[in-house]
């Protein structure tokens, strides 16, 4: 029986994971659940799964959470704040941690789980992007397992012998990440000038949160995944390619030195990757419909348009720059996307803010979490100043 902590339980990844877990009550028990600020949704999940501990990210809501848990007749304990999240991820209530908190907020708990030797199901790509060297060090110290949950990296994991071997020893030539192209595939820059948050969040294939939906629309999500692939699998930037695949059925591919290319296919449903990661090396039912290739008729692939969707090019630039440049990229992107969603920044300006931030802040070595957090905050302040100067 695996004891699971679902960090980010009220988001789309958390909901999919809990759906898989509920199908296998003899295999998994949920003992820790967390949410950002949605107390009512968290209490409802506690009523269904009866965890030992419920965590709310905002410390101001801890009392509200405790009162509502008690009013619901639940014995689940309440806690709040980043330190409590990290303690729970590393603590004795779980042996498996799904890291599904969106953005930089998920970094500390992810690192804590890795240092504690847990089976880490990584859905928080920002932890790898921001703190790749620290994450790898934490895994070495803890001796636990990391299984990627992003559909693209989980696909690569499945196509490699043994999951994450040294690529040269495995005879790997290239990792090929697929991108749906998002809702604006094929559009020109002129056609993107006035797009709205609602249009950017209308993904054609996947149901996701608003921030990651915008990242998909800009192709920054794919850029972050390129950086994550470098961290998780040790591939050089030149050995990681991106192809646009509108059907989202081929989730990624691995090309070998002998010319073979292995691909993982499936319907666009995160429950496949989550079920694989939860039960690995076994396979379990995920509730996902079988893939009917004959009904799909066509699989198409094309090169990404790096001139129109510049965020992907900026991610490669940050990866090649090294040091904490990926963390600066991620911080500037989070600020710019928040402003776009709030209606104060044009869609095309997201890339402009990121590029200007990287231009003002040369990369520095990644030495520890405290320094990285300081640099993250500096990049956010820089991005906000650039926006005030250029767009307000």
| CB-based burial label for 95 (10 Å; 0-12, 13-18, 19+) | middle
Going by pLDDT thresholds of 50, 70 and 90, the confidence category of residue 169 is confident
Helix, strand or coil for residue 62?
Answer: helix
User: Residue 12, annotated ligand binder?
Assistant: yes
pLDDT at 157 over 70: yes
Radius of gyration for the chain, computed over Cα atoms and rounded to the nearest angstrom: 20
For residue 168, the model assigns a pLDDT of 83
User: Residue 156, annotated ligand binder?
Assistant: no
User: Residue 150, annotated ligand binder?
Assistant: yes
User: Residue 34, annotated ligand binder?
Assistant: no
The full set of domains in the chain, from first to last, is 2-148 (3.40.50.720), 157-321 (no CATH)
pLDDT average, residue stretch 127-134: 91
User: Residue 380, annotated ligand binder?
Assistant: no
User: Residue 260, annotated ligand binder?
Assistant: no
User: Residue 124, annotated ligand binder?
Assistant: yes
CB 240 within 8 A of CB 230: yes
User: Residue 216, annotated ligand binder?
Assistant: yes
Going by pLDDT thresholds of 50, 70 and 90, the confidence category of residue 371 is very high
Q: Look at residues 251, 245, 243 and name the one whose alpha carbon lies nearest to residue 298.
A: 245
User: Residue 222, annotated ligand binder?
Assistant: yes
pLDDT average, residue stretch 284-297: 91
Helix, strand or coil for residue 79?
Answer: strand
Q: What is the mean pLDDT of the chain?
A: 94
* CA distances (Å), origin 291, targets 108, 152, 197: 37, 17, 31
More confident call, 162 vs 180: 180
Residue count of the chain: 392
User: Residue 209, annotated ligand binder?
Assistant: yes
Other residues' Cβ atoms within 10 Å of the Cβ of residue 206: 16
Q: Look at residues 52, 56, 53 and name the one whose alpha carbon lies nearest to residue 65.
A: 56
> Which range among 96-105, 110-119, 179-188 has the greatest average pLDDT?
110-119
For residue 152, the model assigns a pLDDT of 95
For residue 330, the model assigns a pLDDT of 93
Whole-angstrom Cα distance, residue 185 to residue 350? 17
pLDDT at 290 over 70: yes
For residue 206, the model assigns a pLDDT of 62
Which contiguous run of DSSP H or E holds residue 30? strand 28-35
Listed in sequence order, the residues at least 6 apart from 392 whose beta carbon sits closer than 8 Å to its beta carbon are 344
For residue 207, the model assigns a pLDDT of 64
For residue 104, the model assigns a pLDDT of 77
User: Residue 126, annotated ligand binder?
Assistant: yes
User: Residue 52, annotated ligand binder?
Assistant: no
């Amino acid at each position: 029986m695996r004891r699971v902590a679902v960090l980010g339980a009220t988001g789309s990844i958390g909901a999919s994971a809990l759906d898989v877990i509920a199908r296998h009550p003899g295999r998994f028990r949920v003992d820790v659940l967390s949410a950002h600020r949605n107390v009512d949704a968290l209490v409802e999940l506690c009523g269904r799964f009866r965890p030992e501990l419920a965590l709310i990210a905002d410390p101001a809501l801890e009392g509200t959470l405790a009162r509502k848990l008690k009013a619901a007749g639940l014995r689940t304990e309440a806690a709040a704040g980043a330190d409590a999240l990290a303690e729970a991820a590393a603590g004795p209530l779980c042996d498996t941690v799904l890291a599904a908190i969106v953005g930089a907020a998920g970094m500390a708990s992810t690192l804590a789980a890795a240092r504690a030797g847990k089976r880490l199901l990584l859905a928080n790509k920002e932890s790898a992007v921001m703190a790749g060297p620290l994450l790898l060090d934490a895994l070495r110290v803890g001796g636990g397992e990391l299984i990627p949950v992003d559909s693209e990296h989980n696909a690569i994991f499945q196509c490699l012998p043994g999951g994450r071997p040294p690529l040269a020893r495995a005879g790997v030539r290239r990792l090929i990440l697929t991108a749906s192209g998002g809702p604006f595939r094929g559009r020109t820059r002129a056609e993107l000038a006035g797009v709205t948050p609602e249009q950017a969040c209308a993904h054609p294939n996947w149901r996701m949160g608003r921030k990651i939906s915008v990242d998909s629309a800009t192709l920054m999500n794919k850029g972050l995944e390129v950086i994550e692939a470098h961290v998780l699998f040790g591939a050089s930037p030149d050995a990681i390619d991106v192809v646009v695949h509108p059907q989202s059925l081929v989730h990624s591919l691995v090309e070998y030195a002998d010319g073979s290319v292995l691909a993982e296919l499936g319907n666009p449903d995160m429950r496949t990757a989550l079920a694989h990661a939860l039960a690995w090396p076994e396979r379990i039912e995920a509730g996902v419909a079988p893939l009917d290739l004959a009904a799909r008729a066509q699989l198409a692939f094309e090169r990404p348009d790096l001139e129109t969707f510049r965020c992907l090019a900026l991610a490669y630039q940050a990866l090649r720059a090294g040091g904490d440049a990926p963390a600066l990229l991620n911080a500037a992107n989070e600020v710019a996307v928040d402003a776009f969603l709030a209606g104060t920044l044009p869609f095309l300006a997201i890339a402009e803010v990121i590029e200007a931030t990287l231009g003002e802040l040369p990369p520095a070595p990644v030495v520890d979490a405290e320094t990285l957090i300081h640099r993250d905050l500096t990049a956010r302040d820089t991005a906000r100043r650039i926006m005030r100067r250029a767009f307000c």
